[in-house]
Structure 1
Amino acid sequence: MVLMSCFFHSRGRILEVLRNWPEKSIQVIVVTDGERILGLGDCGCQCLPITIDVGTNNEDLLKDEFYIGLKQRRATGQEYSELLDEFMTAVRQNYGQKVLVQFEDFANHNAFTLLEKYRANHLVFNDDIQGTAAVVLAGLIAALKSVGGTLADQTFLFFGAGEAGTGIAELVALEISRQAKVSVEEARKKIWLVDSKGLIVTSRKETLQPFKKRYAHEYEPVKDLLGAVKAIRPTALIGSAGVGQSFTEEVIEAMSSINERPIILALSNPTSQSECTAEQAYTWSQGRAIFGSGSPFDPVKYNDKLFVPAQANNAYIFPGFGLGVVISGAVRVTDDMVLAAAEGLADQVTPEHIDKGLIYPPFSIIRKISANIAARVAAKAYDLGLASQLPRPKDLVKYAESCMYTPVYRSYR
């Protein structure tokens, strides 16, 4: 892992900056420009591992005499694009073509663009788009063990149409397409999005951002979430808009009137921005909700039954995903590899977990989870002919476990 900052005024010298780092055997790089850190907003250069400091639009930081970053407005347009091009070229020159670059906490307007720009020619992964999507898809697949039916039998309503919401929606569509053997365009008809202006429908198409247009379906305008729930009658309600308490009692009750086991995923974090709490979801649904969240919540007792809320934490996916890429020597990241990671996580959810309200396996066994996900991702890379680490290990799970770092410390007593 690389820990450093690349500054905007280092343009033309980024390769030199990377070469100053003493560790030469780098397999994974996590890079951010600090513009969209969770629900905290623009954190400028004050985050790691690699920060590309292009300035900040955070007024408090610009006025702070002790701020260590560039005190200028964020670079945009061509100069921003050229800097990222130089960075990606320098990474390849210095560390080779098989170093995995994970884009982290870039703002929506850059996140999609960078992923689409580099995914065909570089080994790249966006955790906010692909990682979040994989862990949520895994939760949805696991929830169906209780709800019944297939993904194609469900209707999904997303509250929030940013990089997280649309990233999840697209991966769900790809999995429906794969399972039901229909086109992705057909699969998208099962998925509806609500943004700040209401339900995304065809009459709004001219004013929508490109990544939203594919989910603009033929329907009359609906202005609010409750109206959308009543109109669309979804099986699952998935929140990623960062609007706290947006899943109101009326919304949860509406979901519960439509479904025997409503799937409620309140994914926004931190906790103050969660769409609802675990206690609210269980109470307002009379203990029938299958609940997952982006923020951690304590177990909830309702009618003498203890429910353990599931946290859709990206840590379920990325470490194992990155390990799978590394151990296979994958030269590209594909959607099929992301789907393999999601399916690998869902397969580790047992009936006992589901009975407790869990749609993810307990985090206490994360090393086992990660090894299995790594094996699934590596297997898919080999199957697709994208692996360069030959020959293929006979037991990919055992091989993944053998490649994992184990912290063993000397005893001084």
Structure 2
Amino acid sequence: MSVQITATGYDLLRDPRLNKGTAFSDIERRTRGIEGLLPPASITIELQVARLHAELANLDNDLQKYLLLSDLQARNETLFYAVLMSDPASFMPIVYTPTVGEACQKFDEIFHSPRGMYLPISERGRLREILSNWPQKDVRFIVVTDGERILGLGDLGVGGMGIPIGKLALYTACAGVPPQYCLPVALDVGTNNQDLLDDPLYLGLRQNRVRGEDYRAFVDEFVEAVQALYPLCCIQWEDFANLNAVPILERYRDKVCTYNDDIQGTAAVALAGMLGALRISGQKLTEQRFLFLGGGSAATGIAELISQAMALEGMDIATARSRNALFDIKGLMVRSRTDLAEFQKPFAQDHAPISVFADAVKALQPTGIIGVSTVPKLFNQQVIEAMAEINERPIIFPYSNPTSRSECTAEEAYRWSQGRAIFASGSPFPPVEIAGKTFVPGQGNNVYIFPAMGMAVFATEAKRVTEEMFIVAARAVAEQVTDQNLATGLIYPPQSQILKASLHVATRVAEYIFDKGIARVSRPHDIGALIRGRAYRPVYPT
């Protein structure tokens, strides 16, 4: 994966993949024509990282830190990843959720350097031509959004580009996918956010969102252009609204290498959390009942993957689905409702309507509740206390992002359950002390899944991403949780060890890919060595 330096002078200093900044040696400065263009002292990358740590520590808020890191990525990519990988647990919340949410909301105000590709629907018929302007001709991963459902913040138009940029940074920082193979893409089909349309600084198309056949044809053209230009590329769909997310995944999942992280990645990290939680409660997956707050693509994706995992343990799939109930703004999803989408119907309950979530908890008696509603504080004291009354160790997973949208805090879940909750959230929460015992909240972050999935696909050049690959990934995450982790309530591997954890998950998924015959490369004797050997390390090029 080494990069050969051929640029000289200011061109060298302005190339983020080749620039070393103050780490250029005296000989390099002389031979590359950059003598005098830098301060005379040459320092190591380790000292550069330490200097960045100090600079970041002096900033007042996380958005300022996000902007500093974004600027660093634009001018010295190697140092950017060296900083991220030096302390991933600290920097993940800055380059991704929750800080990236604020960055997306303020995208038009803070935009300063281009990254990725913007494909407007006004250029239909020219997408392959425009996409070919990307300088890297071997793209293996595209994370793409149309900006309609950014985290729990809604329609942010082209401001949603912060999500693909952040996701791909984590592909590299957390699983070693080489950054030169990654391309963030924003599909601009307009926005229905009137505040953006009225904002003179808004950088996207000033029109309402295109729907229907025109939208579908635009997405088709995008996929066809990607296949033509980058035949080994995997497309990750990100933060599309339910009305588009589910049909897009269904249309392409068996045709190209693709997946939807909101549906499948979220499902896998939730399943991993369940498997970790069951090691605390001592129960079996097939003994569980789950009640979801939210009935969109994230909820049904989790419910379906849990059902498939139950089926792999011997349960009839219809019975498994019946053990996963959905609750939305209109109440419990029951068979008598006439407003359910096709993807929701498999989880409709044979039950009388229930309009209050706490009442649904008491009636269905779930072992776990999972929040994907993006509405904060709906796991209130009545709900948590009801779960604690039904279960010795209630599973409480408020997964909505960012932190401001979480259905409850870790403090609330632990306190209202007298410290008995098995807790994981979508955004980070600090440790909580209850009656002299310290609990470490787990973060059910997709970062445990999608970077590792990316590395497995990259190393094997997989033809497809299948549903069972996500079950394999979930099990691989859960098997790394130690008894010591579990003793503090932590049901995911520590984020400080995310690279090690991700390479383990990638190895397990790669084994599955080879077993199923969907790899494009020959099976090696040591698959773990293959994964480790393909992983990026933040080392300056020579």
Q: 1:83 aligns with which of 211, 218, 222?
A: 218
CA distance in 1, matches of 2:400, 2:144: 22
Partner of 2:189: 54
TM-score, normalised relative to structure 1: 0.96
3-state DSSP class of the match of 1:226?
A: helix
1:187 lines up with 2:300 in the alignment: no
Q: Is the 8 A contact 2:286 2:315 kept in 1?
A: no
SS of 1:330's equivalent in the other structure is coil
Per-residue deviation, 1:409: 4.4
Q: How many Å apart are 1:68 and its aligned residue?
A: 1.6
- 1:333 pairs, out of 438, 442, 465, with 465
1:270 aligns with 2:402: yes
Map of 1:372 onto structure 2: 504
- What amino acid is the match of 2:526? D
Q: Where does structure 2 lack aligned partners over 5 or more consecutive residues?
A: 1-114, 162-183
**Structure-2 separation of matches of 1:323 and 1:264:** 30
Residue-by-residue CA offset, 1:2-38 (whole Å, 9 max, x unaligned): 8111111111110101111110011111111111110
State the alpha-carbon separation in 1 of the partners of residues 425 and 367 from structure 2.
17
2:266 is matched with which residue? 132
State the secondary structure of the residue aligned to 1:182. Answer: coil
Amino acid aligned to 2:427: S
Q: Which SS does the other structure have where 2:158 is aligned?
A: coil
1:48-80 alpha-carbon deviations (Å, 9 max, x no partner)? 320011111110111112212110001110100
Name the SS of the counterpart of 1:251 in structure 2.
helix
1:398: Cα distance to partner? 2.4
> Given the alignment, which residue of 118, 122, 133 partners 2:256?
122
1:282-293 map, 5 Å: 282-293=414-425
1:121 aligned counterpart, secondary structure: coil
- Alpha-carbon offset, residue 197 of structure 1: 1.1
Count of aligned residue pairs for this structure pair: 406
Q: 1:358 aligns with which of 482, 490, 494?
A: 490
What amino acid is the match of 1:169? A
Matching of residues 147-166 of structure 1 within 5 Å = 147-166=281-300
Task: State the AA in 2 paired with 1:150.
Answer: K
- Does residue 146 of structure 2 align to residue 19 of structure 1? no
For residues 221-247 of structure 1, give each alpha carbon's deviation from its aligned partner in whole angstroms, at most 9, with x where no partner exists.
111110000001111111111111111
Identity %: 50
Q: Report the Cα distance in structure 1 between the residues aligned to 2:375 and 2:238, rounded to whole angstroms.
A: 21
Matched residue of 1:292: which SS?
strand
The alignment status of 1:312 with 2:444, answered yes or no, reads: yes
Aligned structure 1 segments of 4 or more residues deviating by more than 4 angstroms: none
Q: Scaled by the length of structure 2, what TM-score is found?
A: 0.74
1:395 paired to 2:542: no
- Which residues of 2 match residues 192-231 of structure 1 at below 5 A? 192-204=325-337, 206-231=338-363
Once the 2 structures are TM-superposed, how far is the Cα of residue 183 of structure 1 from its aligned partner?
3.0
Q: Distance in 2 between matches of 1:82 and 1:306?
A: 53
Matched, 1:295 2:427: yes
For 2:536, the equivalent position in structure 1 comes to 405
Q: Distance in 1 between matches of 2:501 and 2:525?
A: 19
Deviation track 1:153-198 (CA, whole Å, cap 9, x = no partner) reads: 111111111111111111000000011x233222112111111111
Structure 2: distance between partners of 1:160 and 1:43: 21
2:244 to 102, 107, 110: 110
When Rg is computed on C-alpha atoms for both structures, the one with the higher figure is 2
Classify the secondary structure of the residue corresponding to 2:157: coil
Question: Equivalents in 2 of 1:34, 1:303: separation in Å?
Answer: 44
Shift of 1:210: 1.2
Deviates most, 111-120 or 377-386: 377-386
CA RMSD in angstroms comes to 1.3
Displacement of 1:383 in angstroms is: 1.2
Q: Give the Cα separation in 1 of the matches to 2:527 and 2:316.
A: 32
Note the alpha carbon deviations across 1:235-291, whole angstroms, 9 max, x for none.
111111111111111111111111111010011122121111101111000010000
